Chain A
Amino acid sequence: MRRNQVAVVGAAETTELGVIPNMSQIQLHADAALNAIADAGLKLSDIDGIATAVETPQQIAHYLGITPTWVDGTSVGGCSFMLHVRHAAAAIEAGLCKTVLITHAESGKSMIGKLPRSIPADSLQGQFEAPFGIYGPPSMFPIPVLRYMKTYGITHEQIAMVAVVQREWAAKNPRATMKDPITVADVLNSRMIAYPFRLLQCCLVTDGGGALILTSADRAKDFPRKPVYILGTGESVETPMVSQMETFNSSRAFKVAGPTAFKEAGITHKDVDHLMIYDAFAHLPLYGLGDLGFMPHEETGKFIADGNTRPGGKLPLNTNGGGLSYMHSGMYGMYALQESVRQMRGIAPAQVRDAKISVCHGVGGMFAASGTIIFTNEK
């Protein structure tokens, strides 16, 4: 895909984040979509492309009253929205549509109008994982981390620092769910969830949503907000079964999506001013730093523990507080994208000064899928 041909011209989260007991899941989608449309200064009738995950595009299109000429229902977990951005950029460039709306929302906490997730007993996961006691992401996502720690010499304290540093960022974000400072001892003394991970190393469970509007860069100049251009993109999938990953020492999906996006963007790691790595659990930023090629995996734990990703550090990472402290409705990718867009617009609560390039890296399922979007505010 060519660089900077498509831009984000509308971006918004739901009016509220956190606990939203007065809205169903589909209404959260609509709330985010209407906020993004207002942000872009558009009307619903201007939207001719729609993408969403978990909920179907037909559900969202009908609820909003949109008649699309382009539809994407890619649903590969929490990074689906990164894939939507990539697909939408390609579709706009190809002339399949002009103005795409991407929506996410989840009633993750209040569970109103939320579709049940279940594992069929005759699926491969139902036969070869479910009988051994997996029960929700905390029992599955951390399964690789002990191997990763042993291979690379990563310590429990270093991984605890991921949560500590992200809380420092969250403290700067008025909309973050958890803002009180925490220490490594707080993390390592919090309630055990699935050894080696404790409560403060697991994502929040909240309600909320977000939406993006994309159009061609040529049109983007005429919109009220500063355009945020799509500089590079990547995607991949590996396996829906965490036990069947090629290795627990890295994520194959990360290693495809990340470098593909860097190559397309034509940038090096030194060019990155701001970084988001989807953190459903505290080990993900380590995998991301290594698999995206910022440093060898051996150095990832020390890099974070030494403070390089905290406010004032040389590589600001997860500046909204992340899934650990900002919010996590179940599919966090949309909130990572929102923060990258805010940083590129220069309006983030914890703004990285003069940031020009933002890398936004997502995961879906338990390392099942990945999508990377590289944004810039300079054309």
Chain B
Amino acid sequence: MAEPARAKPKPTPETQHFWDGTQAGELRLQRCDACANVYFPPRPFCPSCASREVSVFKASGKGRLYSYVINHRPAAPGFTPPYAIAVVELDEGPRMMSNIIDCPQTPEALELDMKLEVAFEKLDDKITLPMFRPAKA
């Protein structure tokens, strides 16, 4: 029997550009053309000023470790504990949940505010997830 797989996102019309971006190796965010607010998760209007004039742009992919847990039990399908569930604060402002790769999953290695950069992990032909790894100095 196959190993249980990790939960897979199913894009909607409003989020498709984000998932197209990760497949193309880009972390895409949205910026309001009226008030310049940068926001996440995706939606076709600005949650700050309600303008529908918004643009998609390629983010720097850089951020810092805002907070996390190291999950031991129960583990989600497709995960081998212990694994960190992290929230990354992007340089552009928004925060997003992700996992930290290429790094021991320990409190000692996972220092709050450590610099991170995006890395892309392909799940299948349709979905690539945005992950983060410690930034190269």
A38 located at the interface, meaning its Cβ lies under 8 Å from any Cβ of chain B in the complex: no
Given the known A-B contacts A134-B85, A196-B107, A243-B97, are A143 and B69 also in contact in the complex, defined by CB atoms under 8 Å? Answer: yes
The interface residues of chain B lying within 8 Å CB-to-CB of A133 are 6, 71, 75-76, 78-79, 83, 85, 99
Q: Are A143 and B41 in contact (CB under 8 A)?
A: no
In the complex, per-residue mask of B6-25: 1 if CB is within 8 Å of any chain A CB, else 0: 11111110010001000000
The answer for the CA separation of A98 and B77 in the assembled complex, in Å, is 49
The answer for the CA separation of A197 and B85 in the assembled complex, in Å, is 13
Q: Are A124 and B41 in contact (CB under 8 A)?
A: yes
B57 located at the interface, meaning its Cβ lies under 8 Å from any Cβ of chain A in the complex: no
Select from chain B the residue with minimum beta-carbon distance to A199.
B73
The answer for the CA separation of A194 and B8 in the assembled complex, in Å, is 22
Stretch at the interface among A22-30, A86-94, A144-152, A344-352: A144-152
The interface residues of chain A lying within 8 Å CB-to-CB of B71 are 133, 135, 138-139, 194
Q: Are B99 and A146 in contact (CB under 8 A)?
A: no
One of A129, A150, A192 near B97 (C-beta < 8 A): A129
State how many angstroms separate the Cβ of B100 from the closest Cβ of chain A.
10
State how many angstroms separate the Cβ of B21 from the closest Cβ of chain A.
13
B28 located at the interface, meaning its Cβ lies under 8 Å from any Cβ of chain A in the complex: no
Q: Are A122 and B95 in contact (CB under 8 A)?
A: no
For window 238-267 of A, CB contacts with B under 8 Å fall at 241-244, 248
B82 located at the interface, meaning its Cβ lies under 8 Å from any Cβ of chain A in the complex: yes
The interface residues of chain A lying within 8 Å CB-to-CB of B70 are 192, 194-195
The interface residues of chain A lying within 8 Å CB-to-CB of B76 are 130, 133-135, 139
For window 95-137 of B, CB contacts with A under 8 Å fall at 95-99, 107, 112, 123, 129
Interface centre among A126, A139, A140 (most CB of B within 10 A): A139
For window 103-147 of A, CB contacts with B under 8 Å fall at 119-122, 124, 126-136, 138-140, 142-147
Q: Are B69 and A194 in contact (CB under 8 A)?
A: yes
Q: Are B112 and A130 in contact (CB under 8 A)?
A: no
B72 located at the interface, meaning its Cβ lies under 8 Å from any Cβ of chain A in the complex: yes
The interface residues of chain A lying within 8 Å CB-to-CB of B83 are 133
For window 321-361 of A, CB contacts with B under 8 Å fall at none
The interface residues of chain A lying within 8 Å CB-to-CB of B95 are 243-244
The interface residues of chain A lying within 8 Å CB-to-CB of B98 are 132
Interface residue count on the A side (C-beta < 8 Å): 38
B37 located at the interface, meaning its Cβ lies under 8 Å from any Cβ of chain A in the complex: no
Q: Are A196 and B66 in contact (CB under 8 A)?
A: no
Interface residue count on the B side (C-beta < 8 Å): 39
In the complex, per-residue mask of B58-95: 1 if CB is within 8 Å of any chain A CB, else 0: 00000000111111111111110011011100000001
State how many angstroms separate the Cβ of A249 from the closest Cβ of chain B.
10
A193 located at the interface, meaning its Cβ lies under 8 Å from any Cβ of chain B in the complex: yes
The interface residues of chain A lying within 8 Å CB-to-CB of B96 are 128, 243
The interface residues of chain B lying within 8 Å CB-to-CB of A121 are 7-10
Q: Are A147 and B112 in contact (CB under 8 A)?
A: yes
The interface residues of chain A lying within 8 Å CB-to-CB of B10 are 120-122, 126-127
Q: Are A126 and B69 in contact (CB under 8 A)?
A: no
Select from chain B the residue with minimum beta-carbon distance to A197.
B69
Given the known A-B contacts A127-B9, A244-B95, are A142 and B41 also in contact in the complex, defined by CB atoms under 8 Å? Answer: no
The interface residues of chain B lying within 8 Å CB-to-CB of A126 are 7, 9-10
Q: Are B67 and A131 in contact (CB under 8 A)?
A: no
The interface residues of chain A lying within 8 Å CB-to-CB of B99 are 132-133
The interface residues of chain A lying within 8 Å CB-to-CB of B6 are 131, 133
Q: Are B15 and A135 in contact (CB under 8 A)?
A: no
Q: Are B9 and A132 in contact (CB under 8 A)?
A: no
State how many angstroms separate the Cβ of B94 from the closest Cβ of chain A.
9
Q: Are A144 and B7 in contact (CB under 8 A)?
A: no
The interface residues of chain A lying within 8 Å CB-to-CB of B129 are 131-132
- Give me 8 A-to-B residue pairs in the complex whose CB atoms sit less than 8 angstroms apart, sorted by A's number: A120-B10, A126-B7, A133-B79, A143-B87, A146-B67, A194-B85, A243-B95, A248-B87
Q: Which residues of B contact A (CB under 8 A)?
A: 6-12, 15, 19, 40-41, 66-79, 82-83, 85-87, 95-99, 107, 112, 123, 129
| Closest CB pairs A-B (n = 3) | A135-B76, A127-B9, A195-B70
